[in-house]
């Protein structure tokens, strides 16, 4: 099996979706690290609210929820997400 697709298939995403997902997290954490490092060296520099610990944790939780949802949909035999909304059967 192709090593580029094993993990992505398990997660229920394409290679490109996975690339954007992982690089987005890496970028966000990198920016937060820079903000905290600058604040550590120069305490008078404030950390912007969008990069503080609470915002970073909230971002990571949101991204985790997204990937868990994708994984669940990929392994669900009853998923009809690929169909237009007017063609989906309501399942209870």
pLDDT one-digit tens code per residue, 70-91:
877 776 644 445 445 555 554 4
Enclosing domain of residue 59:
46-71
Distance CA 73, CA 78 (A): 9
With b for 16 or more beta-carbon neighbours within 10 A and e for fewer, the 64-78 pattern comes to eeebeebeeeeeeee
Kindly report, residue by residue over 35-71, the tens digit of the pLDDT: 999 999 999 999 999 999 999 999 999 999 988 888 7
Decide if 55 is inside a domain. Answer: yes
Which residue's entry shows tokens 């997400």?
Answer: 81
Decide if 50 is inside a domain. Answer: yes
Decide if 28 is inside a domain. Answer: no
Q: What is the pTM of this model?
A: 0.68
Distance CA 39, CA 50 (A): 15
């Amino acid at each position: 099996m192709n090593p580029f697709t094993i993990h992505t298939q398990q997660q229920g995403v394409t290679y490109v979706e996975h690339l954007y997902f992982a690089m987005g997290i890496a970028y966000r954490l990198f920016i937060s690290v820079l903000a905290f490092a600058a604040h550590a060296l120069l305490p008078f520099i404030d950390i912007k609210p969008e990069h503080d610990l609470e915002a970073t944790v909230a971002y990571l939780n949101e991204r985790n929820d997204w990937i868990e949802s994708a994984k669940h949909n990929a392994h669900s035999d009853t998923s009809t997400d690929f169909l237009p909304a007017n063609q989906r059967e309501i399942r209870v």
